[in-house]
Amino acid sequence: LFAGQSEFVKGVVAMSGLPPADRIEVCFAGRSNVGKSSLINALTGTKGLARASNTPGRTQEINYFTQGPDLYLVDLPGYGYANAPLKIVEKWQKLLKQYLSGRQTLRRAFVLIDARHGVKAVDDEIMKLLDTSAVTFQCVLTKADKVKAAEREKVLAQVRGALARHPAAFPEIVLTSSEKGDGIPTLRSIIAHLV
Ligand code: GTP
Ligand code: MG
């Protein structure tokens, strides 16, 4: 599945702009700067496909990428970005909520959590939203290369505790580094099994 080409399809700012629901999709949600776009680049093996940047709030649209003929990878705008103007934040949040609860072909939402920081209140909010929509979500820890083993175990325990409160959570947590490639084959295989 991930041997094929990946291409940018479009950036969407309203539900009416979503591409036809003609194949399944998985999406990547998470706080601003957690590494969503970088993870898509690592999964597809295409540097610069999704725009990653150190400036939080880089991805401001729902960006669609193809992966082979049967799958869309969907890069979502980050949430919890304090410095964006309130009007814009509200617009993103509304779109995010509409998307997460209303996309028929969405097979799984990956909720990305920084391996240094664990689950924050805003992540919990998104998980609550996912509990009420028809889609299972799964946690992906990002930036694993930035934490030592002891700290990682502490964060993993915190994330497990948080997931236990969410009925829509898939129990397996995937530890990744887009920089070093850790966990990328595992995540590819998880996604391939959903198609
Ligand atoms: P928004 O679009 O603003 O919501 O951010 P995003 O979640 O798409 O994050 P993005 O992929 O743009 O990455 C943010 C920053 O984290 C960039 O500087 C990346 O290079 C860095 N980064 C992402 N993944 C990793 C990783 O696995 N390891 C390390 N060390 N840095 C990473
Ligand atoms: Mg991004």
Q: Where are the domains of the chain?
A: 6-194
For position 58, what pLDDT does the model report?
66
Average pLDDT over residues 62-76: 94
181: left (phi over 0), alpha (psi -120 to 50) or beta: left
pLDDT of 23 > 90? The answer is: yes
Encode pLDDT of 74-114 as tens digits: 999 888 776 667 777 788 778 888 998 889 999 999 999 99
Give strand ranges (E) for 24-164: 24-30, 62-67, 71-75, 106-114, 136-142
Ligand located closest to 39 CA: 1
pLDDT > 80? residue 37: yes
| pLDDT at 144 (0 to 100) | 97
pTM above 0.90, yes or no: yes
- The three-point CA angle 36-32-15 to 5° equals 75
Atom of ligand 1 nearest to the CA of 41: 11
- Whether 183 lines ligand 1, by a CB cut-off of 6 Å, is no
- pLDDT top residue among 112 and 50: 112
Asked: is 6-194 a CATH 3.40.50.300 domain? The reply is: yes
Check whether 40 has a pLDDT greater than 80: yes
pLDDT of res. 94: 85
- Greater pLDDT, 59 or 129: 129
What is the spatial distance between Cα 115 and Cα 80, in angstroms, rounded to a whole number? 17
Nearest CA to ligand 1 atom 22: 35
